[in-house]
Amino acid sequence: MKREPMKKLETQSQALPELLDRAGQSSDFTTIPLTITGRQVRISYYKTLIDEKLLQSNVILALQNRSLHSELRRLEDISDWIPISDIEITDRVEDIQSKLLKGYAIAQLDQHDRNCILVHVGTMEGLRKENNTENEFSVVGPKVGFVEDLDTNIRLLRAQINIPNLIVKEITLGSSSKTRVAIIHIDGATNEQIVQTAEQRLKQIDIDVIFDTSLLDQFFSDNSSTPFPLFLTTERRDRVVYALLSGQVAIISDGSPYFVTGPSTLFDFFISPEDYYLPWILGSFFRMIRIFGVIFSLFATSMYIAITTFHYEVIPRDLLEPLISSRRNVPFPPLVEVLFLEITIEFLREAGARLPTKIGQTLGIVGGIVIGQATVQAGLTSHILVIIVAFSALASFATPIYKMSNAIRFLRFPMIVMTAIWGAIGMFIAIAFLLVHLTRLTSLGTPYTVPIYPLRVQGFMDSLIRPSFQLINKRMPFLRPRSLIRFIPEPVGRKKNDFDDE
């Protein structure tokens, strides 16, 4: 098999005009032309990385005031006129690119001159002291989240992805709100067709006010008549960075701390960033536990109805007597019994989510214990069903993404009804409808159930399990990335010990 050439994404520009042209593809890159004593001065910078007040007062205004008394003859005069200590004159494109992405402004006296001045006008204002993630918590790894300011969020991304290939395109949506919406991707990694599809769908949105990025998710999704989220919504910076590096596109609106990334697959919603901060064996184990928990949460109560109503012959003899004694005083059929407990759990969830944090936690714990004990003693439900519903509710919380957790909670109810009507046959019919519905879903034109359908063997590498970093150095082929290689891993082998003999 012929080895694919290793194409490195972070290639350095060979000339300064190429670097400026690439940076100019982003909406937050700005070039200001100034005329100083008859000479043309161009100042270029990323507006999301600099302090514009500092630029105006200490650079532009200083140049204009000094030009009233002096004549601009050479590039060094600009550095003498600017009252900032961190100034550097260089012609190295590597240094220019690095400093440009660190909050420096470029000043050129001649557009074709290779030498330019780098002036540090960066700022970190606008960042919260505590902008931790609130809904996507992890024990291991960074806890940096996004805020409600678009420029700040772009600055957070550029601090992590420090290459000019990070392209930001801004559009304005909302007839009344005029909200800024950013479409972000990595040039050289993301397929251009995906970017064009996302941009085209966003421009077709006609609404008066954009309150949150989640609204955009519903408007430009491939199918709005599905309970499954077709795009991953996250407030974690590391998750957005990983999606961009994988060849996906990220979208965010001003006033929202949530990014929408896509194309997404079904397995993306069961992946936690914490999987990659743990050894791959532990990460794979916890990921499979998470997937098993979702399956158990979806089918546990349905199986209880099917067994106790239609298929009681499959109950082991040792379990049959405790089950009979548990249901002896229950006056309701299993369907009513299950719906009563499931709806009660949903009441507790909604009440706990809407109340303040401390009160909500107390309500969830005390309410669950008191109501569960009271319903059993009153003979409204059986002991075994209370245990099954409790485990099912607990397993549903294992889903890292809140929107997918809501979809699983909803799907339990049609599954319960189908099972109550036809037993195990009804469950298999519901599963068949669910599988057909999933296989027909797409996210920005990409199949939702890939790599299972269509079958992509290489896609299993980072789906059910989290393999070693030696094996996940390539982007997923079904995203059709322009560059397949993410990084070049170290060859697998015995690492040399410092105490080994030469």
Segment 97-108, tens digit of pLDDT: 989 998 999 998
> Are 303 and 255 in the same domain?
no
> Are 377 and 255 in the same domain?
no
Between the alpha carbon of residue 304 and those of residues 156, 191, 232, 340, 422, the distances in Å are 49, 47, 32, 14, 13
Query: What mean pLDDT is predicted for residues 47-61?
Result: 90
- Kindly report the backbone phi and psi dihedral angles of residue 445, in degrees, each rounded to the nearest multiple of 5, phi listed first: 85, -5
For the four alpha carbons of 407, 413, 417 and 419, in that order, the dihedral sign comes to positive
Residue 20 covered by a domain: yes
> Are 312 and 436 in the same domain?
yes
- Whether the per-residue pLDDT at 4 is higher than 50: the answer is no
For the four alpha carbons of 16, 22, 27 and 28, in that order, the dihedral sign comes to negative
Residue 500 covered by a domain: no
CA dihedral 218, 223, 225, 227 (to 10 degrees): -70
Residue 154 covered by a domain: yes
- Whether the per-residue pLDDT at 126 is higher than 70: the answer is no
* Residue where one domain finishes, among candidates 397, 418, 446: 446
Lowest mean pLDDT among 109-118, 272-281, 381-390: 109-118
Average pLDDT score, the chain: 86
Distance CA 376, CA 427 (A): 27
Query: What mean pLDDT is predicted for residues 305-318?
Result: 87
Residue 472 covered by a domain: no
How much is the pTM?
Answer: 0.88
Q: Bigger pLDDT: 50 or 348?
A: 50
Residue 494 covered by a domain: no
Domain that holds residue 24: 16-120
Q: Bigger pLDDT: 387 or 367?
A: 387
Residue 104 covered by a domain: yes
Helices (H), 116-236: 150-160, 192-203, 213-220
Per 3-state DSSP, what percentage of the chain is helix, strand, and coil (rounded to 5)?
45, 15, 40
Task: Quote the number of domains for the chain.
Answer: 3
pLDDT at position 125, please?
Answer: 55
> Are 52 and 168 in the same domain?
no
> Are 327 and 409 in the same domain?
yes
> Are 295 and 434 in the same domain?
yes
